[in-house]
Each structure stands twice: as C-alpha cells, then as structure tokens.
Structure 1
Amino acid sequence: MELFLAGRRVLVTGAGKGIGRGTVQALHATGARVVAVSRTQADLDSLVRECPGIEPVCVDLGDWEATERALGSVGPVDLLVNNAAVALLQPFLEVTKEAFDRSFEVNLRAVIQVSQIVARGLIARGVPGAIVNVSSQCSQRAVTNHSVYCSTKGALDMLTKVMALELGPHKIRVNAVNPTVVMTSMGQATWSDPHKAKTMLNRIPLGKFAGESGGSPASVVPAVPVEHVVNAILFLLSDRSGMTTGSTLPVEGGFWAC
C-alpha cells in the first residue's frame, strides 16, 4: 500500500537505535526528508552513512534549554515521531528521585516540548500534520520493577488523547503505538533471559516479542522484526489513517486481550 510520504519532512526522536533507527531507515526508503534526533553522535554518524541526506541533530532531550536551542529553528516539519525514551527499572520501594526525574523528563516532558515546536510550526503555516508517540504495552498493564516506566507510558497515552483533542481543530492528528517488548538493545537488557521472558511470553497469545532480526537474544527468545512497529508508525503518519486520531494502537501480539 502506497503511503505517499515522499517529500514530507519528518522529525524522529530517539533515532540512533532500535525503533527510532528503523523508522528513519524506512522513511528514508520512502523518499521522506528526515530530521534524525539522538543524544549519541556516533549513532547519528553511522545513520548518516546508511541514509545519506538525512539531517542529524545531536541533543539530550532531557535538557529543556538545549532542546529549544537545537530544535527551535529546525524549520518546517510535516510529521513527528516521538520515540525517545529511557527505561530506568527499579523496585517500587527503591525508586530514586534521579530515576523518576530523568524518566519523566525524557519520556513525557520532551514529548510535550518537541510536539509544541512542531505543532506551532504547522499551525503558523496553516497546513495539516501528524504526530505519533511511541508508547508501550506497559501503559495499561503493570510489570514488576517498571513502576516509573509504566507511569510515564500511561501518562503518554493520556497526553496523546489530549493533544488529539486540542490539535484536531488545526488538522493535526495525534496517535500512539503501544508495542510489546521490542528486542532492541534496551529490550534485550531486560528481557533476553529466557526464564524471565517466559512470564511475559505466557501472557502473549502470539507467543513472541517484537525484535530486531538476527542476533543471539532473538534466537533464544521468540521475536519478530522491529518493522512490525515501524509499519504501524508509518501508517499513522500517512494520510491512509486520515480519520484516526487520539488512538493507542497495540502492537503487542494480543497481550491486552488477556
């Protein structure tokens, strides 16, 4: 199905690894013009070699002032993918202020700031747009040692709905994708142990996580390519989903059905 993204300018946060990197690669292949945002310069350098012509921006989105400097004059953006996130996992009784603050700065506050920058530009130009927030199955299901992470993603789902409500009159659609565990480097750090993963996999009717193809963790824990998540993101960015806004799209193998 043709998504007609060629020529559109798309800003992707958390572009250096995992879902964000896969999204940039897929968008580049469609002919979209991509602004790739990451806090790691080495990741951006390798991404530019893979996808010549993308615009790299290196900034820590947890830093409000630095983000304003880096993206405040980024220029016209048609579409936005808020993918950047951190997962600082601690038992509830051991949650620290530092982990709480860092998690909400990156996983929620940065979404507000970057979306404001993009939405204000769209409104000033008088053109429609689309924003996709990368949430998680953890937004609606509790997971041990994920109290802060689950909280940020639950808040992100509600933020998505409020953004859709307020930005809809400006023809800006806002949706979220809610993946299961994705076996990127962040997912592998938590779920590559097959004994630990089994407790989660037993709750997923399709019996597998989403994950990058290849690599030893994926051969131990059942996984499917990260493209399943990327495809959902691209669909929600495209005009093919023109009547969809305020939604949370599960990409979790039926986890929420149980």
Structure 2
Amino acid sequence: MEFDGRQVIVTGAGKGIGRHTAQLLAARGAQVTALSRSQADLDSLRAEIGGRSIAVDLEDKVAARQAAEAALPADLLVNCAGINILEPFLEMQDESFDKIQAVNVRATAIVSQVFARDLVRRGVSGAIVNVSSLSSFFGFPDHAAYCASKGAMDGLTRVMAKELGSHGIRVNAVNPGVTLTDLARVAWSAPEKGGPMLARTPLGRFAETGDVAEVILFLLSDRAAMLTGLALPIDGGFHVV
C-alpha cells in the first residue's frame, strides 16, 4: 500500500492507460480523482475504485483549469488524457491540428500549472508523470499532429522538471510504443501498419496498458526520488533497433 493516504489526479482516466493507472493506484492505497470526457466511463470507474470524478472536455482551456482547481488538493498528478486524428500530412486539417495540441499539450500544461502552484503554496513536494509517446522520437505516417504534440509534451516535461525541482516537484514522461488501447487499435490494426512495428520490436509483442501503468506508478513513488526530467520509452526495445 505504498500510496496509502496519497491524493492523485489522473486525467484521461476513463479508458486505456489512464484507467489502468487509476485502478492500480486505488489498489495500492491512493485516493484518486479521475478526469475524463465521458461521464459513463467515470461512473463505471467510480463503482470499481471509489474516489472522486470530474467530467471535463480538456480541449476547453477554461474548463480544464476549473477542473484542475476542483481536483485539489493532491499530492501526485498523471497527465494521461490524449487524442489522435489520423491524417496524411498533405491532407491534415487546421482544426485537427489545433484540437490535438489543445488536448495533448495545452491541457497538460494547464492542469500541471494549477497542481504545481498549489504544491508550492502549501510548501509540499510532489510528482508529475506525463504520458507521452514513442511518437515523440519517430515520425509515423498519418501522425503529423500527434507526433508534434508528443514532442511538445516532452519539451514541456523537461522545462517543468528544471523549474519545479527546487520546489521538490519531480516531473517525468513515459513514452509508450504501441499499447493495446482502443486508440492504438484504430491506428495499428491494419497488418501493413502493425506488422512492421511488431517485427521491429525485440520483445516480440506490443505493450499492454498494465505495462505502462506500472512504470507510471514507479515514477510517482518515492522509490524514484532521484528521477526527474526523463522521457522513458516503454516499447519492448523498438527504439534500439
């Protein structure tokens, strides 16, 4: 029960990696405040783990800030909310690009700022984990806006780690490869897309959501007390091939 008594905010908690992370945190003693667009997802999660839930569309910057403030106080934060819209670069729409940046990057900045300001005001330490992607390092077809957003998230993580470290706040990113969420199944279900990715992965499989959630919990924990500013691939070795 290493998170016993800790208050944790998890965005994107309704599905996928965020949901699995919220479940693990609750199982290990944390009180979770879950943020998601879907009230139905939040209701089913709350039935499983208890805690608080806030339905919010993080694309809306005002709503994102209000939701983050409503989720306080908290000791730890996981920014897992994310979207993707698959478009070839030559057909990419301005609206798609803006929407992806708003959810994947701007909301992370807003929620983190609200959370960190409160920690500094209270004079307590904490930790943030941003769920980025291997797409920060590689240019995948049809992922121009998504890759751009995850590169921005990693840059944001480094600046946050540098500026917040003196306040006792650690900030790290995890960068999963293909992880078997609903979002990934849409992007990689076609054999011509998923096959080459799998063939290049030394461990011979794609990640499960639990593989990523366990690393998130480690980075949140006191066992990772000297880790900050990382962008950590969770990809079965894809990046070394």
Superposed CA deviations along residues 171-204 of structure 1, whole A, max 9, x for unmatched, are: 0000000111111111111112233211111221
- Equivalent residues in 2 for 1:124-203, closer than 5 Å: 124-203=121-200
Superposed CA deviations along residues 119-142 of structure 1, whole A, max 9, x for unmatched, are: 001000100000000011110011
1:51 maps to 2:49: yes
Equivalent residue for 1:247?
A: 230
TM-score by length of 1: 0.91
Aligned mate of 1:233, from 198, 216, 220 = 216
Q: Distance in 1 between matches of 2:69 and 2:52?
A: 15
- In the alignment, structure 1 segments of 5+ residues that lack a partner are 212-225
Q: Distance in 1 between matches of 2:144 and 2:130?
A: 20
Amino acid at match of 1:251: I
- In the alignment, structure 2 segments of 5+ residues that lack a partner are none
- Equivalent residues in 2 for 1:42-81, closer than 5 Å: 42-52=40-50, 54-81=51-78
Q: Which runs of 4+ in 1 moved over 4 A?
A: none
What SS does structure 1 have at the residue aligned with 2:207?
A: strand
1:8 maps to 2:6: yes
What SS does structure 2 have at the residue aligned with 1:10?
A: strand
- Equivalent residues in 2 for 1:105-120, closer than 5 Å: 105-120=102-117
What SS does structure 2 have at the residue aligned with 1:145?
A: coil
What SS does structure 1 have at the residue aligned with 2:201?
A: coil
Amino acid at match of 1:178: N
Q: Distance in 2 between matches of 1:166 and 1:139?
A: 22
What SS does structure 1 have at the residue aligned with 2:65?
A: helix
Amino acid at match of 1:237: L
Q: Distance in 1 between matches of 2:231 and 2:197?
A: 21
Q: Distance in 2 between matches of 1:107 and 1:75?
A: 21
What SS does structure 2 have at the residue aligned with 1:210?
A: coil
Equivalent residue for 2:19?
A: 21
Q: Distance in 1 between matches of 2:91 and 2:152?
A: 21
2:9–2:71 contact (8 Å) kept in structure 1: no
